[in-house]
A = this chain, B = another copy of it.
Amino acid sequence: MSQAWSAKIIGTGSYVPENVLTNKDLEKLMDTTDEWIQTKYGIKERRVAGEEDQISTLSIEAAKRALTDANVAAEEIDLIILASINSDVKAPATACFVQAELGAKNAIAFDMNVGGCPNSAFALFTAIKYIDPYRFKNVLVICTEIYTKFIDWKYRNTACFLADGSGAAVLTLCEKEQGILGYDLGVEGTMAKSAWWPTGGTLGTVSENVEMDGPAVWEFGHSIVPQSIKKVLNQSGTAAKEVDFYIFHQANINIIRNIMEMFDVPLTKTHINNDRFGNTGGASSMIALDEARKLGLIKKGDKMLFCAYGSGLAWGTILFQM
C-alpha cells in the first residue's frame, strides 16, 4: 500500500449456530471414527445450522458483535462486503439484507466469492483497497458459510470436516505507517477442480459432496502457502519471529503445525479452534481472529499475519499492524 493512507482492523465478532455435532455423532452417520477425524484434521466437534439459520442471520449476529467491539455505529459503515460461496437467495446479494437489518443505511453492499476458504483474505484485502479518506472510511467484512444444508453426510472425505459459522471485522482508515505492512494474493485457476463443488450453478450438475483432491491440496498447503508467507515477510522486511501472531484458515491442524514449524515459530503464536468448529470456509480464519483478539492473544500494535487458502485454488496473506 504505497498510497497516502492505510487501513486497520478495529473490531471483530463471530457467531456459530447452537447445534453441536461431535465426531461420535458422525460415527452414526458415516463410516468414520472419532480417532481418524482427530488425527487427520484435529476436529472434535463442529456447529451445524438449524433450519432457521441463513447466511444472513449468522452474518448479522457476527456483524453486530464486530460493530460493538469496534464501537462503530451501523450508520457509520460505508461498505459491507459479505464473502461466501452461498447466499440466502439468488438475488439480491445477502449483503443487501444484512445492510437493511443492521440499519447501515449509508453503506453500499455486495457479496463476493473466490472459493470459500480463501474468501476471508480476499474480502479483507478488498476492504483495504476500498478504504479512503472520502467515501469509504469504515468497512464491514463478513465471512459466512453454511455447508451442512447442502452436503450428504455419507461422503466422509469432506462431510466430516465442513461446518457452519460466521466471522466479521470492522476496518477503518488510518495513517499510512499504522496499517498494512505487506500482502500477497494469488489464484491458480488451472487447479480449480482440485477442491470444487460442482453443484448449484448453470452447469446443472447436482452434488452433495465437495470434491477434494486431498494430495494436491496438501501439497498446495505446504508449498504455495508458505511461499506466500515468505513473500510477505520479505516484502515488509519482517522476520518470521518478529510477527507477534499468526492467524490461519482452520482446515487442518497438521497443515498449521507444519507451516509454523517451517518458519520456526512456536505454536503459542497461533490460535487453533478447528477442534471446536471444524472448517467453516472463509469464516474459519475470521472466527479464529476474533477469538484470538478477545483472548488477548493479539494486542494493539501487534504485527499479525493473516493467511487463508483453499478452493480456487486461491491464497491470500496479509500482514496487519493491529
Q: Which 4 A-B pairs have the closest CB atoms?
A: A100-B189, A92-B115, A99-B189, A96-B189
Contact, CB under 8 Å: A201 / B86: yes
Interface residue A7 (Cβ < 8 Å from any Cβ of B): no
Q: Which of A3, A51, A202 has the most CB of B within 10 A?
A: A202
In the bound complex, what is the Cα–Cα distance between A97 and B193 (angstroms)?
9
Contact B202–A87 (Cβ < 8 Å): yes
Interface, chain A (partner B; CB < 8 A): 2-4, 49, 51, 53-55, 85-101, 104, 107-116, 122, 126, 129-130, 132-134, 146, 149-150, 185-187, 189-190, 192, 195-205, 210, 311-314
A91 touching B210 by the CB < 8 A rule? Answer: yes
A187–B114 contact, CB under 8 A?
no
Q: What CA separation (Å) do A147 and B98 show in the bound complex?
A: 24
Q: Report the minimal beta-carbon distance from A37 to chain B, rounded to whole angstroms.
A: 22
Q: How far is the CA of A4 from the CA of B116 in the complex (A)?
A: 34
Contact B115 A197 (CB under 8 A): no
By DSSP majority rule, is chain A's interface helix, strand, loop, or mixed?
A: loop
- The minimal Cβ–Cβ distance linking A11 to chain B, given in whole angstroms, is 21
| Least CB distance, A204 to chain B, in whole angstroms | 7
Pair B114/A96 contact, Cβ less than 8 Å: yes
7 A-B pairs with CB atoms under 8 Å apart are: A3-B132, A55-B201, A88-B201, A96-B187, A100-B192, A111-B113, A112-B112
Most buried by B among A149, A185, A201: A201
CA of A114 to CA of B195, assembled, Å: 26
Q: Contact at A109–B187, with CB atoms within 8 Å? A: yes
Which residues of chain B are near A311, meaning CB under 8 Å?
A: 91-92
Which residue of B126, B197, B199, B312 is within 8 Å of A126 (Cβ)?
B126
- If A2-B134, A126-B126 touch, whether A113 touches B93 (CB-CB below 8 Å) is yes
- Taking a contact as CB atoms under 8 Å apart, the answer to whether B202 and A98 are in contact is no
In the complex, besides A86-B202, A100-B190, 14 extra interface pairs with C-beta distance below 8 angstroms are A2-B133, A49-B202, A85-B91, A86-B90, A87-B113, A87-B201, A88-B202, A91-B116, A92-B195, A95-B114, A101-B189, A107-B187, A108-B122, A200-B200
Q: Which residues does chain B contribute within 8 Å of A91, judged by CB atoms?
A: 85, 113, 115-116, 195-197, 210, 311
